[in-house]
Amino acid sequence: MGIVTPDQLEKMVRVARKYKIETLKITTGQHLKMLGADQEDIPMIMEELGGSLPGTPHLKIGLRNLQACVGSPFCSFATADTREMGMLLQKAFVNRVFPGKVKVAVSGCISNCCEGYVRDLGIFAKKSGWTLIFGGNAAGRPRIGDVIADKLSAEQVILLAEKCLGYYCDNAKKEERAGHMVARIGLDDLLQAIK
Ligand code: SF4
């Protein structure tokens, strides 16, 4: 979600200097990438940063991108805590294996700064509760996602996301994105299955 503490940032800078990495990139997916590391240094870099190399890189494990806007209490337009929602989603889906990439965006108001309509799973807040969008995609074959439900509590968002992503796991072809699956099968089938 692009959240980093000063201590974590200082640690990354120390490690980057130690391994002569000259460029850090804040990506569109709210990751912080170290560019240009020597291949043989990567395990040590990961260890020093407290991470680990993915053991099964061919599998689509967890949420590929989990973006969240600053939300409440830091944005005056926000009607919800996007970080808290992001953490709930992370906890629910971190170790799940999906047929393809799953990109998620959480926005704290209808301005939708994280562009949830063009993410596999988009969630944004209104005063009346959360709205959940499924099947959006901003890549080579763009698709606007479908609003699945609104006025949801945080718990209902997780339950509904679980159903939508479960349907995705059961019905998508290998590497097929959620939106392309919905376009192929039809929204009615999805809505019927997650009722
Ligand atoms: S989506 Fe709304 S709450 Fe989030 S940063 Fe944009 S304006 Fe602020």
Q: What are phi and psi of 6, to 5 degrees?
A: -55, -40
Distance 72 CA to ligand 1 centre (A): 9
Mean pLDDT in each 10-residue stretch from start to end of the chain (195 residues)?
Answer: 90 95 91 90 90 57 83 94 95 90 96 96 97 95 96 98 97 94 96 93
Q: Is 107 in the pocket of ligand 1 (CB under 6 A)?
A: yes
pLDDT score recorded for residue 59: 54
Which ligand 1 atom minimizes the distance to the CA of 124? Answer: 1
pLDDT of residue 62: 67
Strand 32-35 vs strand 23-26: parallel, antiparallel, or unpaired? Answer: antiparallel
Q: Which domains does the chain have, with CATH numbers?
A: 6-48 (no CATH), 60-193 (3.30.413.10)
pLDDT of res. 57: 52
pLDDT value of position 147: 98
Q: What is the CA radius of gyration of the chain?
A: 18
Strand partners, 149: 132
116 touches ligand 1 (CB under 6 Å): no
